[in-house]
Chains A and B, each alone.
Chain A
Amino acid sequence: MSEQHHILRLIAEGNQLSFRQLYDLYNKLVYNTALSFVPNVSSAEEITQDVFTKIYRKAGSFKGGSTVKTWIFRITVNTALNQIKKNKKARTINLETCEKIDFDHPGILLENREDAVTLQRAIGSLPETQRTAFVLCYIEDLPRLEAASIMGVSLKAIESLLQRAKGNLRKKLEKLYPHRRKK
């Protein structure tokens, strides 16, 4: 049993010190992944809060089939996707009309901000699996194998999803090209 698996066992027994230890290890990973899916500080904090609450409640159900990091990544991705669905119900984003999206990512360089908003808008219109693969491999810069393990698909499937995601993004950006703001 790995050390982190042991920490999870202690959390399942209600040990808050171990929970703090796990939080210190993974809060940046969860928060920044959440920001990649939902580029908004308050939503990312909400997702982080939900993820760690789930970890606390489900620590005992971790069987060790994957690494603790992969397990936490998986919970983060699922929680972020659910949050996006919830937000979409509240308002729909229209790609062509260039409707403003709720973008508040303080980590993005100022000179890239405009482009990052456009990219986020385009990513938002991708199907869920393509979006997840793109965010994990290109934005989070995870190895393909790890992304495949998080998504529960084969390496070949990840490659195919990435190809399609990139192709679709380029098509969507081509449509947005006339609406761009010239620098």
Chain B
Amino acid sequence: MKEEKNIWIDSVMNSHVGREVLVPDSSLFDRIILQTTKVKTISLRQMGMVGIAASVLLLINVIALQNINTPTTWNASDIAYENEVQLISDYNLYGYE
């Protein structure tokens, strides 16, 4: 049984022996030449996708710029906090002038 199995495995492993060397179809070279001269084109769909992606990026950048340029508005609690900090920093803890 085991020997039979090994014989079968060996026959499978050697099944490629004696295979014929084949020649590709005679029209293949013409097809290759056609492919090499083909100019790569970008489809309208791809162009549209690129346009949309660029617009989204531009929009994000504009929004980011607007947020940076907007002046900070202070409210009462912020001013109080600022004064408090100032008050603490005015203590002359170490006797220096």
Contacts and interface: CB of A to CB of B under 8 A. Distances in A.
A104 to B, nearest CB: 11
A32 B35 contact: no
A36 B16 CA distance: 9
B14 to A, nearest CB: 8
Interface residues of A, number: 38
A182 to B, nearest CB: 9
A93 interface: no
Nearest to B32: A52
A173 B28 contact: no
A180 B23 CA distance: 32
Contacts of A23: 29, 32
Contacts of B24: 27-28, 31, 44-45, 48
B22 A28 contact: yes
Interface size class of B (residues with CB under 8 A): 20 to 34
Contacts of A87: none
A109 B18 contact: yes
A122 B35 CA distance: 34
A16 interface: yes
Contact of A49 (B8, B19, B31): B31
A48 B29 CA distance: 10
A115 B11 contact: yes
B36 A119 contact: no
Interface in A1-38: 16, 19-20, 23, 27-28, 31-32, 35-36
9 contacts: A16-B33, A20-B29, A23-B32, A28-B21, A56-B36, A106-B22, A115-B15, A177-B8, A177-B9
